[in-house]
Amino acid sequence: MTIKVALAGAGAFGIKHLDGIQNIDGVEVVSLISRDLEKTKEVADKYGIQHITTRLEDSLALKEVDAVILCTPTQMHAAQSKACLEAGKHVQVEIPLCDILAEGEEVVALQKQTGLVAMCGHTRRFNPSHQYVNQKITAGEFNIQQMDVQTYFFRRTNTNALGQPRSWTDHLLWHHAAHTVDLFAYQCNSPIVQANAIQGPIHPVLGIAMDMSIQLKAANGAICTLSLSFNNDGPLGTFFRYIGDTATYLARYDDLFTGKDEKIDVSQVAVSMNGIELQDREFFAAIREGREPNASVAQVLPCYRVLHELERQLV
Residue 166's pLDDT is 54
Q: Which residues contact residue 58 at a Cβ distance below 8 angstroms, ignoring those fewer than 6 apart?
A: 31, 33
- Which CATH superfamily does the domain covering 127-269 fall into? Dihydrodipicolinate Reductase; domain 2 (3.30.360.10)
Task: For residues 292 and 80, give the distance between their C-alpha atoms in angstroms, rounded to a whole number.
Answer: 20
Alpha helices in 128-175 (DSSP H): 128-138
CATH number of 3-122+275-294, picked from 3.30.390.10, 3.40.50.720, 1.20.120.450, 3.40.960.10: 3.40.50.720
Residue 315's closest CA among 185, 184, 198? 198
Q: Domain extents for the chain? A: 3-122+275-294, 127-269
Is the pTM here over 0.75, yes or no?
A: yes
- pLDDT in single tens digits along all 315 residues of the chain: 899 999 999 988 999 999 999 999 999 999 999 999 999 999 999 999 999 999 999 999 999 999 999 999 999 999 999 999 999 999 999 999 999 999 999 999 999 999 999 999 999 999 999 999 999 999 999 999 999 999 998 877 666 555 666 555 578 999 999 999 999 999 999 999 999 999 999 988 888 889 999 999 999 999 999 999 999 998 888 999 999 999 999 999 899 999 999 999 999 999 999 999 999 999 999 999 999 999 999 999 999 999 999 999 997
Q: Using DSSP, state whether 71 is helix, strand or coil.
A: coil
Instruction: Give which of 41, 26, 32 is closest to 9, Cα–Cα.
Output: 32
Distance CA 97, CA 208 (A): 19
In angstroms, the Cα distances linking 2 to 29, 162, 179, 294 are 10, 31, 31, 21
- Both ends of the chain: CA-CA distance in Å? 52
Residue 159's pLDDT is 64
Separation of CA 307 from chain center: 14
Quickly count helices (H) and strands (E) in the chain.
9, 14
CA dihedral 291, 296, 299, 305 (to 10 degrees): -160
